[in-house]
Homo-oligomer: A and B are copies of this chain.
Amino acid sequence: MIQLAKELGLSVSTVSKAIGDSHEISASTKKRVLELVKKYKYKPNPFASNLRKKKGKQIAVIIPDIVNNFFALAVDGIESVTMSKHYDTFIYLTHENLEREKAVLEHLESGLISGLIISVCTGREGYSHFQEFYEATKLPLVFFDRVPDLLQFPKVITNNYESSFDATVRLIKAGSKRPVLITTTEPMFTSMERRRGYQDALEKQGIVFTDEMIIHCTDDMELNYTILRKIFSQKKRPDGIFASIEKYAITSYQVCKDLKLVIPKDVKVIGMTNLRTAALLNPSLSTLSQPAFDMGKEAAGLLIKMIEKKSYAAANDIIVLPNELTIRDSI
């Protein structure tokens, strides 16, 4: 910039202001400056700029996993916004590891970023690190999908309860007398909402709920297979599945295939998933899918609004987007 100033016969302050499009600078000077900027492809040093301004145009995204269509789509949505607003996006993966999540948050307390989008890892304890992060930095935080239900932060979620209710009703109306819910052992707000929807649907449809109708699966695909196979080998086996997690729908299919249970005749299945190949499975899988891309977009939009203080009210916003039920051949 000193170079530019010298060549233009101006001071660095003037050049800086011209680049920043300050009203203090005349149109003619701005034009002269910008021309030279273009000529030399000059780019202000972001570190110097951020240091002086005490903030930058960088945000971070913390998610459990990227090898998962839902999160990949969400990141896609986030990036589409940050790109258009000229923000840079850091990405951090926790792999469902709470310690890792805490470590990333602590690292970010250094002030590297101006805002943060998070989908928390499994487990419903230990939300305190988010609160601490906020106290320490006062930076805007936006949660999406996997949100800490007990904390007061802006969130982007889906209508898990209602859509799970609807999906379960569809299973029952399609003829399932004993539909089970496959969920995770890990406590999560989203799964609890889905479970509530499932149970309320049963009640509404006059089906008696028993504890065995909730099947708890894990992160271990092999183990899940064993668990499901055992349950579906029983004489009084379930005749419907609401798989509330993507991968459990896949395992269900595997088990049914191996046990020669015909979908949808013997077992009706609806899976909560964003898999693009759902329509190509045999039979094509009925899905309850989340508007992942839009969730990312909304979260990023909200965050940037908060960063740029265009909307102070945003702080307690909770944006609810609808899940989409797509009925295919599996029910």
Q: Which of A66-74, A189-197, A315-323 contacts B (4 or more CB under 8 A)?
A: A66-74
With both chains docked as a complex, state the minimum distance between the C-beta of A24 and any C-beta of chain B, in angstroms: 24
**A72 and B71 alpha carbons, distance in the complex (Å):** 10
* Chain A residues numbered 5-27 whose CB sits less than 8 Å from any CB in chain B: none
Asked if A37 lies at the interface with its beta carbon under 8 angstroms from chain B, I say: no
Query: Do A91 and B111 form a contact, CB below 8 Å, given A250-B277, A277-B250, A282-B281?
Result: no
* Chain A residues numbered 61-80 whose CB sits less than 8 Å from any CB in chain B: 65-69, 72-73, 75-76, 79-80
With both chains docked as a complex, state the minimum distance between the C-beta of A148 and any C-beta of chain B, in angstroms: 21
**A80 and B45 alpha carbons, distance in the complex (Å):** 29
How many chain A residues touch B (Cβ–Cβ < 8 Å)?
47
Asked if A136 lies at the interface with its beta carbon under 8 angstroms from chain B, I say: yes
Write the chain B residue with the least CB distance to A276: B250
With both chains docked as a complex, state the minimum distance between the C-beta of A19 and any C-beta of chain B, in angstroms: 12
Q: Which of A47-55, A115-123, A153-161, A235-243 contacts B (4 or more CB under 8 A)?
A: A47-55
Write the chain B residue with the least CB distance to A274: B67
Asked if A83 lies at the interface with its beta carbon under 8 angstroms from chain B, I say: yes
Binding site for B on A (CB under 8 A): 41, 43-48, 50-51, 56, 58, 65-69, 72-73, 75-76, 79-80, 83, 86, 88-93, 100, 106-107, 109-112, 136, 250, 253-254, 275-277, 280-282
Other than the given A43-B111, A47-B51, A89-B90, 12 more pairs (CB < 8 A) read A43-B110, A46-B112, A47-B56, A75-B91, A76-B93, A79-B93, A83-B93, A83-B100, A88-B112, A89-B92, A253-B280, A277-B277
